[in-house]
Structures are given as C-alpha cells and as structure tokens.
Structure 1
Amino acid sequence: MLSVTPLSATVTDACFCHWPVETDALTRSIPDWLTIETADGDAWVTALAHTVSSVASFGVEVTKPARAVNVRTYVRGPNDQRGVRFLALFTDDALTTATAAPPLRLPYRDGVLTHETDGGGFRSRRTLDVDGQRALDLRYTPDNGEATTAPPDSLASFLVERQRYFTTDPFGTRLVGSVGHDPWPLRTVDADVQGSLLRTLGLPDPTGKPLFHYSPGTEFALAPPRPLWLD
C-alpha cells in the first residue's frame, strides 16, 4: 500500500495491447527533444484499457469509478532518462479528466467507452469510439493462475514497467512527471483487438501482430510534472 500522496489512483482489470510500429514514422508524433526507444528492433505503441477504481487527493476519494484507455509510446529524455510519452488519454468520467488533466499536463481527449462482460466468447469486451468511429474493440480473457511480475530486461518489462512520463505546459516548457507504483502483477491473457485506434490518432500502422498483457491492477502515486532541468 502506498503512503498518502497529493494524488493517487487505483487501476483494476487492466489489459495492455502493444503494437510494433516503424520508428521513423512514429518519431513525427513526438517532440524533437525526445527520442523513441526501441525493443527487439521496433518502436512500440501501447493502449492500456482499464478501470480507474478510484482517484484520491491526500487520501480523500474525489471521483467515482471510470472506464479509461491510455495510449503511449516509449521514449528517452534529453539526459537519456527512460519514460513514456502519452499520445492520448480517454475516460468516461468528466471529473477524472478535470481532476487529473490540469495538474498532470496529460492529453485527455473525448471518446465514448464501454465495458461489458461475456463479450463475444471472451470474459470482457472494452470499446472506444472517437468521432463516431470504432477506434478500439478489445476482447480478452485472463487466465486464473497466480500473477507474476515481468522479468528484468524482458520485453514485457520494457512495455509495462515505466515510472516517468514527459510532457509540456502551455508555454512549451519541457516537463517530467512521476508515476510511482509497485511492479505490475501480470497474468497471461487470451485477447483479440480490432479498430482504427492508431490511424485515428494519426500514428503509423502496425508492422506486426499485437502483444497483450493483463493485470488485475495496481495503485499509483502521481506527482505533478516539473521542469525537466530540475529532474
């Protein structure tokens, strides 16, 4: 359990969908002061579909549970720090957006999200519609085995275990924020994904099949970003 922090969030029923993409094409979607980090020769874009079970400020819950999809890629900062760059975040709770977006400088966007159980032969189905188009249709059934953590230096660790993100403020100041959490507990998952998410966000098409990871959830301690030169 994390100690009381200015902002914390509990995430549950989280399914990661990772696509390999062409590095040079993806570079056009990030600021020029960041560098795409690759693994197994590929750049990667991840959609994390999950439920935000709670968001709390100094231990006081401030929102109700909400469905969410976060889209990110993997980068290094000017001093070679490893982190992520969020490309878009979607949630169906306006209060979550109002609470998190301004202090965390995150690129929240409008979208319509659903989550149903027994989704066409899978345990769960999560969908995201953007501008009237089906951007994400993710169906998954995690196994019932004991959750484990990703081995160090594995592709799973590269794709899942990040505790730093890079962003900017309205004046263009380069910022770095922290997302503290214990290692994600992971289970294998049978999953299928459809939709035009990458194309909808102006990102390059995948160069290979998606990879999936599932987690029953974890808790985050969120720190508002600060100027990069202070990191």
Structure 2
Amino acid sequence: MVALRPLQVTLDDVCFCHWPVARTAVEPAVPDWLTVETADGDAWVSAVAATVDRVETFGIEVAGPAELLTVRTYVRGPTGQRGVRVLALFGDDRRISTAVSELFRVTAGGATPRTLPTADRRRVLDAGDRRLFECRYTADGEPVAVPPDSLASFLVDRQRYFTTGRFGTRLVGSIGHDPWRLDRVDATVTGSVFPAVDIPVSGSTPLVHHSPGLRVSIAPPVPR
C-alpha cells in the first residue's frame, strides 16, 4: 500500500486568539470519546488566523495565497494523547478551504476571514455585512521558542488532531512542524468566534499570541 504524503502548508503572519471558557460550555461540541483538556482551570477555544502562502501536495504547489481561520479546542484521546479538535474553518479560497476541511472533516463556514490593509495588522471574520470578530495587533521583537510546560506551549504546540469519520469512526491525524516561535504582541480583540461554533459563551478576555509563520505538514487522519 502506498503511504499518503501529507499536505504541506506554508503559513505567514499567524495570529492566535485564545479564550478561556468553562469545560461544560465546550463539551457539547466534542464527541464523547474525547476528553476536553483544561489549563489553569479552564478549557480553551482558539481562533488561529493566518495567511496561507502556498499549499503543496507531492511537491507540487496547488494553491495560494489565501486567508484561513480555524477554530479549535484542546482535547485528549481515549489513551490520553493530547491534540486538538477543529470546530470550524473559514477561508477566502475555495480550493484551500476544501482541502483543509476534508482533512479535519469540518464543513467550511460561510463567513470570510480577511487581513485589512492598515498600518497595524487587523484580522477579521465577516459574515456578510456583519463583523463577528476582529483582532487588531502589532508585533515586534525577535521571535523566541515557546517554553515547554507553559500555557503558551499548551495552546500553540499541538501535533495531533482528532476528528470523526463516516459511521462515527474515530480518526487521528498528525500535524508536523518545527517548534513554534512567538514574538511580542500588543493586541485588541473585539467580538469573538463563539457564535460561529454555537458555543454559548461571551465576555471572556482572550489571550493573543503571534508568530511570523512556519511550514506545516498535515497528514490525513486514520482510524485509531
């Protein structure tokens, strides 16, 4: 059997917005074979917005550039493996949205992520004429490695994702990349991604991280 080669995605200007929430608020969005993982006493829901410079498969560029925003939470599998559960995905390029949504088994949403052409960086998610979410930020300084066993490492450094296939099949995929390096960021966030994933939470203040970017290999999920 020929092994499937992972999708290669080159990300640029990656903005992570993390909201602390009660575990009970997230559990309905996660299948019962996964356990919602907590840090500092909270479950977390994150929006990861990035510019996709290029997408490659079998060494051939197939798409890019584009804007992509995924919403995820943090879970453990049946044997304790740590990973993420992708709750929603939004993109402004159909080819990239389709390729990534097929891996995560999540239907691409109708809202559109954009980067606004302003002096500071502004990542937004718009649903028609309604703005769901906006992160306005400036980043500077030399990017540094994420300290192990830190909250930043818990939220950013995940190399496994869990999803569900047809007939309820439990699937696990891998996400390979060099260690994330984060720089200093000053950010203001308005709105949230919670309405897009039907999680009834409001009012929490997000934690924001920023990375200049890196290259990610996403392997197709397999039954486990």
Shorter chain as denominator, the TM-score bin is: over 0.9
Deviation >4 Å, runs of 4+: none
Q: State the alpha-carbon separation in 2 of the partners of residues 154 and 104 from structure 1.
A: 26
- Unaligned runs of at least 5 residues, structure 2: none
Any conservation in 2 of the 1:166–1:175 contact (CA below 8 Å)? Answer: yes
Query: Would you say 1:18 and 2:14 are equivalent positions?
Result: no
- Aligned residue for 1:40, secondary structure, equals coil
Structure 2 residue 213 is the aligned partner of structure 1 residue 217: yes
Answer whether contact 1:22 1:204 (CA < 8 A) is retained. Answer: no
Structure 1 residue 103, shift from structure 2 partner = 4.3
Greater strand content: 2
Secondary structure of the corresponding residue to residue 138 of structure 2: strand
Question: Which one-letter code corresponds to 1:26 in the other structure?
Answer: V
Q: Aligned runs of 1:98-177 on 2, under 5 Å?
A: 98-118=98-118, 123-130=120-127, 132-143=129-140, 145-177=141-173
In the alignment, is residue 203 of structure 1 matched against residue 199 of structure 2? yes
Work out the CA distance in 2 between the residues paired with 1:224 and 1:179: 9
Assess, with a 3 A threshold, how the Cα gap between structure 1 residues 165 and 33 changes in structure 2: closer, same or farther.
same
Tell me the equivalent position of 1:97: 97
Matched residue, 1:181: 177
- Contact kept? 2:71, 2:193, Cα under 8 Å: no
Deviations 1:82-134 (A, max 9, x none): 00000101110001123333344244222222212325xxx111111136531
Taking structure 1 as the reference length, what is the TM-score of the superposition?
A: 0.90
The CA distance in 1 between the partners of 2:6 and 2:87, in whole Å, is: 24
User: Structure 2-normalised TM-score?
Assistant: 0.93
* Runs of 5+ consecutive residues of structure 1 not aligned to the other structure: none
Figure out how many residues of one structure are paired with residues of the other and give that number: 220
**Could you list the per-position Cα deviations for residues 198-229 of structure 1 after superposition, in whole angstroms to 9, with x for gaps in the alignment?**
1332113156421110000010111100002x
- RMSD of aligned residue pairs (Cα, Å): 1.5
State the 1:17 CA deviation: 0.4
The question of 1:193 aligning with 2:189 is answered yes
